[in-house]
Chain A
């Protein structure tokens, strides 16, 4: 790099590259953030539309999910990358609301820039935003939450429906919401503290093109995308005893580096015979324990298939490890890594077997699935999605995943907030009033924070081709009334009705979101905006020239 440094003598730093400072870097960052928000903003809300993303080789992804869109885009600007990561974070932590979090963060930045042009120092803005965020979260928790305890299953279903309303399965939200709730309930486990956890990752979502969206089914059991090892095996076993193995049932082979020295040629024969007998004995031990369904992550030799066929057992090879672990848990069995016991002997105990009412191979479209129904120790759920083609199924899977996440949040957090922009507008009114009550320099930053929140309901209305100014004015009036007048308290549930272009009580209409996802997205958006605001200098190194250009 010494050479590069010489070539670029005008640069005071001993590095070659571009340096941006002060206002120009801030401006660039804000522009970059705004353009990221611009990309995703039309996919927000029940009338948002989808994006089609085509990669270098021509593969197509059709999606409405903000995180997915941003993940597939090749974003180069560093500040824009922070927003992409923000969407990813929201996706991992909450699973839903990835579009709105990006919108809010970009809007916060835009408003901050306006303040900075009024010569307000970024640190003041930052502390104002922090304060506003904290107040907002407090307000949501105190005033806006609806507790699920006194609410029926309806509301959980409604929350799932709200999350799906913007997606391709929006028309069938009813069906899928019920499916998501049932699936989440099925995988419920106690957390040991009197409550429950809902590990929705245990809901296996499979895709099969063909049929129509409404032919999608929730299977009350675990579905595996595998087939039995040999066509001669039975396709259905009731009262199944399931062995989940993590080793191959193949002719045993000595590990590298092991040498056996034998004296006579006959012993060579014995070695060969032993190779196949070893596995045979293993299979016999497993069968002797009473197993009639054998699932393994490895492979099964043809040599062993016959024993299973003769015993009328199902043997399935090359299952995914993660699937088998879940099956073992659900059926009350154990995931067996090796048959060797502490004494060094090989054994297989009947207590290692899991149990299920029925295991069957079922046909869906051109594919076949192994379905384990009625597992003994806890219920399981799998969702089989059907759709016109692969793109359709992929997008359905993303939407169902979002819905499952929402259901999980609702069930674990047990708190809901009204959707359709209600929270944002309520916070806007509250924070504006709060700002005026504050006699410090943060006042303006808090007011801008309040204004930035309005971008969500505004965008919702714009996507629905409604008059956003008019609707927002109505909504703000309602929320203002609810916060100042005692008898108007019920107005705080008011949000947008995008089909009709009106404001309505979204609690009654069943447009609900989990409180925790709203709170988290607010926090994440604020943090991301602050991260970008703190930047006042950007140095972009030019990539080092390859050594071949060294020049001697």
Chain B
């Protein structure tokens, strides 16, 4: 036996890549991801049709929605897909831009890696450039906006929606988005309560196929896809007194296990009687506060229905917990668990009209004309389910735009003007740098041009000619020259202020931050080891991920 035998240190399934090759493949895979959704930017964006393993179809041009559906192999590509999610959760818009920009930043880094500039130097330069860009963005290249100006706000939201499906839908979506956001908006309270716009929880989108798109609206209250439980109950009540319950109106056994042994026949009858008596007492407790409408999360037995019908009370049952919250907030009621503890102040009186309407084949309960609804339902109407789904997605974007503007009323010009302006300014500033950092610093600025460039590409105009003209405009000395951008439909240059094309600054800022940091993360890697142990450092995080994977597996397995 000599030293010639190979020493096996790592598991033989482990694969390892190192050095320059890793950096270049990382960049390549990031670029590939960016290329997938490159055509989804701007008003001339095309939709992608995605088939999931179950054979379902998703049609969208929303960056995050597309990336969520596709499966990628390369770890760096996974990292790219994650950032679309980050962007979506943080500001809910700009998911396409962030991917394209991150891809471009990595692409421009290739040149420096090939010149053997150390990644840490590139990274330091990028981070410095990012700081400068953010500073410039808020100090020089953005304008304040008055959120109370409804017309202006509509226009703003419309430009952000420029890329989504129907133009006729656009008008409606802007109106809806602003109304919904204003409805759920809670001002900064005197007790230090933070300003709050919780769209996810308090503005629900309900889709009803049929009707025309213009019929979509924001209700001044809530709509629930339910009918009253008994045909004889009233289906229209003006100024109803509403009781919200989250308990059963039927007999339920206790928590402890019970066995009943009966010796006499009467005892059995008595047991049954007791159940009925219980329902009766519960119903009496409810009726004692004289409600017109009872809404419960759980079930209502036939007997309870009987008592309530007799008293002229309408009942809705088996509501979702989240619906119940919205109702409670809209009509000012407290959800009660024990009917015998109902009090006058628990009753909701904020609703002006309860009405059950039949649309198509289904019944819908409307709780509308609320006096101060801080929650609402958005009703979408449209010809088919697929179109409704796409309307839903784009409305979500509109809602996010509206929320972002109301929360941070600062805007920057759209159509690539903002990116161009920042690129120009940063590039100029970079000229003053005397260290090696100058190259990457200015390259980051150049990478920003990818946004106007893609816009021009997507509408089929001459990229080089238009971009050069745009650069020339930005080099001008007039105070508002920085607002020149590209008209995403015609490919001509346009002055964004004159045409009122704006985007929220918070979205743009987040795009810059996320894209740059992702590039930094990927540039720092010089070694990929695959086939490592499962689990490890963050036991909890890994376990959660494993659980998510397991949950995903049966869904995928169902296909076979």
- Could you tell me which A residues sit within 8 Å of B by CB distance? 20, 23-24, 27-28, 31-32, 35-36, 39, 42, 46-47, 49-62, 64, 68, 71-77, 80, 168, 170-172, 209-215, 230-232, 235-236, 238, 251-254, 264-266, 268-269, 271-272, 275-276, 301-306, 309-310, 358, 360, 362-363, 365-366, 387-392, 394-395, 397-398, 464-465
Task: Among B10, B267, B520, find the residue whose CB has the most chain A CB atoms closer than 10 A.
Answer: B10
Cross-chain contact A55 with B533 (CB below 8 angstroms): yes
In the complex, what residues of A have CB within 8 A of residue B254's CB? 268, 271-272, 275
Given A210-B86, A265-B271, also A172-B536 (CB < 8 A): no
In the complex, what residues of B have CB within 8 A of residue A56's CB? 531-532, 534
C-alpha spacing A55/B532, complex, angstroms: 4
C-alpha spacing A266/B14, complex, angstroms: 70
In the complex, what residues of A have CB within 8 A of residue B336's CB? 306
Cross-chain contact B525 with A254 (CB below 8 angstroms): no
Cross-chain contact B127 with A238 (CB below 8 angstroms): no
Cross-chain contact A171 with B124 (CB below 8 angstroms): yes
In the complex, what residues of A have CB within 8 A of residue B11's CB? 74-76
C-alpha spacing A62/B525, complex, angstroms: 8
Given A52-B527, A392-B517, also A303-B9 (CB < 8 A): no
Task: Among B247, B254, B510, find the residue whose CB has the most chain A CB atoms closer than 10 A.
Answer: B254
Cross-chain contact A51 with B546 (CB below 8 angstroms): no
In the complex, what residues of B have CB within 8 A of residue A275's CB? 254-256
Please give the distance in Å from B150's CB to the nearest CB on chain A.
26
8 of the cross-chain contacts (CB-CB < 8 Å) are A49-B120, A52-B26, A54-B75, A54-B528, A168-B520, A231-B201, A265-B270, A366-B200
If A39-B529, A56-B532 are given as contacts, then 15 extra A-B residue pairs at C-beta distance below 8 Å, sorted by A number, are A31-B3, A55-B531, A57-B546, A58-B78, A209-B82, A211-B510, A212-B516, A238-B191, A268-B258, A271-B256, A276-B338, A362-B194, A388-B517, A397-B538, A464-B118
C-alpha spacing A415/B530, complex, angstroms: 40
For A210, give its contact among B130, B256, B510 (CB under 8 Å). B510
C-alpha spacing A51/B17, complex, angstroms: 10
C-alpha spacing A68/B542, complex, angstroms: 14
For B274, give its contact among A36, A58, A266, A387 (CB under 8 Å). A266
Please give the distance in Å from A343's CB to the nearest CB on chain B.
25
Given A71-B536, A236-B192, A310-B334, also A212-B514 (CB < 8 A): yes
In the complex, what residues of A have CB within 8 A of residue B542's CB? 59
For A306, give its contact among B116, B335, B513 (CB under 8 Å). B335
Cross-chain contact A303 with B338 (CB below 8 angstroms): yes
Cross-chain contact B278 with A52 (CB below 8 angstroms): no
For A76, give its contact among B2, B9, B127 (CB under 8 Å). B9
B52 close to A (CB within 8 Å):
no
Q: Which residue of A lies closest to B253 (CB)?
A: A272
C-alpha spacing A8/B232, complex, angstroms: 89
Please give the distance in Å from B336's CB to the nearest CB on chain A.
6
Please list the 9 inter-chain residue pairs (A to B) with the smallest Cβ-Cβ separation, ordered nearest first: A212-B513, A210-B90, A389-B82, A74-B11, A388-B517, A54-B530, A49-B526, A366-B89, A253-B255
Cross-chain contact B510 with A391 (CB below 8 angstroms): no
Cross-chain contact A59 with B537 (CB below 8 angstroms): no
Given A211-B513, A394-B541, also A54-B256 (CB < 8 A): no
In the complex, what residues of B have CB within 8 A of residue A49's CB? 119-120, 524-527
Cross-chain contact B246 with A72 (CB below 8 angstroms): no
Cross-chain contact A391 with B533 (CB below 8 angstroms): no
C-alpha spacing A264/B118, complex, angstroms: 86
In the complex, what residues of A have CB within 8 A of residue B274's CB? 265-266, 268-269
Please give the distance in Å from B470's CB to the nearest CB on chain A.
28
Cross-chain contact B86 with A388 (CB below 8 angstroms): yes
Interface residues on B, range: 35 or more
In the complex, what residues of B have CB within 8 A of residue A64's CB? 524
Cross-chain contact B76 with A52 (CB below 8 angstroms): yes
In the complex, what residues of B have CB within 8 A of residue A238's CB? 191-192
Cross-chain contact B337 with A265 (CB below 8 angstroms): no
B371 close to A (CB within 8 Å):
no
For A74, give its contact among B14, B73, B79, B82 (CB under 8 Å). B14
C-alpha spacing A74/B14, complex, angstroms: 8
Cross-chain contact B528 with A52 (CB below 8 angstroms): yes
Cross-chain contact A80 with B337 (CB below 8 angstroms): no
For B337, give its contact among A68, A305, A365 (CB under 8 Å). A305
B115 close to A (CB within 8 Å):
no
Task: Among B120, B246, B525, find the residue whose CB has the most chain A CB atoms closer than 10 A.
Answer: B120
Q: Which residue of B lies closest to A310 (CB)?
A: B334
Please give the distance in Å from A3's CB to the nearest CB on chain B.
26
Given A49-B527, A172-B127, also A73-B14 (CB < 8 A): yes
In the complex, what residues of B have CB within 8 A of residue A265's CB? 267, 270-271, 274
Against A, the Cβ 8 Å flags (1 = close, 0 = not) of B437-481 are 000000000000000000000000000000000000000000000
B109 close to A (CB within 8 Å):
no
B362 close to A (CB within 8 Å):
no
B551 close to A (CB within 8 Å):
no
C-alpha spacing A36/B255, complex, angstroms: 58
C-alpha spacing A24/B194, complex, angstroms: 70
C-alpha spacing A62/B247, complex, angstroms: 49
For B529, give its contact among A54, A76, A213, A305 (CB under 8 Å). A54
In the complex, what residues of B have CB within 8 A of residue A309's CB? 334-335
In the complex, what residues of A have CB within 8 A of residue B260's CB? 268
C-alpha spacing A54/B246, complex, angstroms: 47
Cross-chain contact A388 with B521 (CB below 8 angstroms): yes
In the complex, what residues of A have CB within 8 A of residue B532's CB? 53-56, 61, 72-74
Q: Which residue of B lies closest to A367 (CB)?
A: B89
For A55, give its contact among B118, B258, B534 (CB under 8 Å). B534
Given A61-B537, A210-B510, A464-B118, also A73-B529 (CB < 8 A): yes
B498 close to A (CB within 8 Å):
no
B434 close to A (CB within 8 Å):
no
Cross-chain contact A306 with B7 (CB below 8 angstroms): no
Against A, the Cβ 8 Å flags (1 = close, 0 = not) of B494-524 are 0000000000000000100110111011001
B193 close to A (CB within 8 Å):
yes
C-alpha spacing A286/B211, complex, angstroms: 54
For B531, give its contact among A74, A310, A390 (CB under 8 Å). A74
Cross-chain contact B517 with A42 (CB below 8 angstroms): no
In the complex, what residues of B have CB within 8 A of residue A264's CB? 267, 270
B177 close to A (CB within 8 Å):
no
In the complex, what residues of A have CB within 8 A of residue B196's CB? 235, 363
B402 close to A (CB within 8 Å):
no
C-alpha spacing A539/B529, complex, angstroms: 29
Against A, the Cβ 8 Å flags (1 = close, 0 = not) of B309-335 are 000000000000000010011000011
Cross-chain contact A59 with B545 (CB below 8 angstroms): yes
Q: Which residues in window 241-264 of B have CB below 8 A to A?
A: 246-247, 253-258, 260
Cross-chain contact B120 with A170 (CB below 8 angstroms): yes
B1 close to A (CB within 8 Å):
yes
Q: Which residue of A lies closest to B126 (CB)?
A: A171
C-alpha spacing A533/B527, complex, angstroms: 30
Given A42-B526, A302-B337, A394-B541, also A388-B256 (CB < 8 A): no
In the complex, what residues of B have CB within 8 A of residue A47's CB? 118, 120
For B325, give its contact among A231, A236, A310, A395 (CB under 8 Å). A231
Given A47-B120, A231-B325, A306-B337, also A60-B79 (CB < 8 A): yes
In the complex, what residues of B have CB within 8 A of residue A59's CB? 534, 542, 545
In the complex, what residues of A have CB within 8 A of residue B87's CB? 210
Cross-chain contact A388 with B325 (CB below 8 angstroms): no
In the complex, what residues of B have CB within 8 A of residue A62's CB? 79, 521, 524-525
Please give the distance in Å from B295's CB to the nearest CB on chain A.
15
Q: Which residue of A lies closest to B2 (CB)?
A: A24
In the complex, what residues of A have CB within 8 A of residue B560's CB? none
Cross-chain contact A27 with B90 (CB below 8 angstroms): no
For B90, give its contact among A77, A168, A365 (CB under 8 Å). A365
Cross-chain contact A236 with B76 (CB below 8 angstroms): no
Cross-chain contact A252 with B255 (CB below 8 angstroms): yes
Given A53-B529, A253-B255, A271-B254, also A389-B79 (CB < 8 A): yes
Cross-chain contact B334 with A306 (CB below 8 angstroms): yes
